[in-house]
Amino acid sequence: MADLNGLTFFIKTFGCQMNENDSERIAGLLAAAGARKVERFEDGQVVIVNSCAVRAKSEEKLLSYLGRLGSWKKKRGLVIGLAGCVAQLYREKILVKNPDVDFVVGPDNYHLLPEILSHGLGPKPVITSWACDWNEDERQPFMRESPVSAYVTIMEGCDNFCAYCVVPFTRGREKFRPLRAILGEVASLARDGYKEIQFLGQNVNSYKDPETGALFQDLLKASDDIKGVEWIRFITSHPKNFSGDIAEAMARSKKVCSHLHLPLQSGSTPVLERMKRGYTREDYLGTIRLLRSLMPGISLSTDIIVGFPGETEREFEETMSALEAIRFANIFSFRYSPRPGTAAAKLDDDVPFDVKRRRLLEVQKRQKAIQTEIHKGFIGRTIKVLCLGKSKKDKRIYSGRSEGYQVVNFTSEQNAIGRFVRVRVKDSGPYSLGGDFCEEG
């Protein structure tokens, strides 16, 4: 067992919830070996940068951060480790471009970090092999950021190869975690007082227990029986794998929230075809109709890409009309960014930057207005909120999420953190609701 007693480390995380959860795991692994986590990179002897490769912009942010670390390293000395998707994608090449980086470790190899840091595993090690099996022992332990809401990984990797997406190249093929291990982790989190669980995976709907063949809907049904946890969410769903059985399991469940993140990407069937998404606009709208018939009030969120190769003005307008027809509670929208190795990288990136920018602004402007309208409808209502902490802007204000995953900021005379409360909504903006504590939830 590696001994890291006395070592201090800092972790910088870029990217999605999977990276956030991986950073919690890296912190847990290093702390178990005796190292101490610090809150500023200036206080760390080691900095691990957990990187994201999903868009060129994420890589640019990473490079600028590595530049800052490099300057500090020259002044004070520092060990810099690059983890995550950029590490897996570029491997040895990173060391040539960024000589300040001391080691490179891909997402399937974090269990080796204590050893890398104690024995070095050679000069400037680059460890990016794929693990073929899910090893439970190697996944533990975690140092979680929140004492209230926890991520639980149910699968790694992705087999979909959407034309624009680098994830299958950075995270490898689909690997599913055994159902008994997932349920065991949820039960232990419930014992530790966690109130909300978020199942994680690139395409959770394709989940299949490697031991029993149980499907995602079976996981939802089984986790409904675990005492203590009150809310269950999952991310990310894929429209082509989102079956009627899953929708029914959601609707029947007492704990699965009435909220779904279902990335649409484009409202145009020809664009979806070029993206290799495996569904049409009509398929998607049909799924939304089904969800709304089973769960009337369900809160829906999505991801949108504008300016995919060949996207015409008419095709873009179909995305706009989809926003109008569906009225999402929240969206994440992006300009298409070509990624190395993907199918779309071979296509001509022919939508000019200014057109992409204008389309993105149009999407965001329309969505902002829709969200403002949706949020206004909450004023005067009393809603259930899981309080996750204090507001970042004002420490006198508590902050949490509604069942529909809206940010709710509220006043309270008593400490509400970690509790379910009822909040009377009295004001709203495009991105949050505001109100006062009413009673225990």
Binding site for ligand SF4 (CB under 6 A): 158, 160-162, 165, 167-168, 202-203, 238
Cβ partners under 8 Å of residue 363, min gap 6: 304, 306, 319, 320, 323, 331, 333
* Among ligand SAM, ligand SF4, none, residue 45 binds (CB under 5-8 Å by kind): none
Which residues between 191 and 220 bind ligand SAM (CB under 6 A)? 202-203
Candidates 184-192, 319-327, 332-340, 352-360 — which segment interacts with ligand SAM by CB under 6 A?
332-340
Output 88 or 98, the one with its CB closest to ligand SF4: 88
Residue 206: CB minimum distance to ligand SAM, A: 11
Residue 101 as a binder of ligand SAM (CB under 6 A): the answer is no
Among 337, 367, 399, 406, binds ligand SAM (CB under 6 A): 337
Among 125, 263, 267, 309, binds ligand SAM (CB under 6 A): 263
Size of the site for ligand SAM (CB under 6 A): 18
Residue 303 as a binder of ligand SAM (CB under 6 A): the answer is yes
* Among ligand SAM, ligand SF4, none, residue 305 binds (CB under 5-8 Å by kind): ligand SAM
Residue 131: CB minimum distance to ligand SF4, A: 18
Residue 29: CB minimum distance to ligand SF4, A: 25
Residue 10 as a binder of ligand SAM (CB under 6 A): the answer is no
Residue 274 as a binder of ligand SAM (CB under 6 A): the answer is no
C-alpha gyration radius of the chain: 22
Residue 328 as a binder of ligand SAM (CB under 6 A): the answer is no
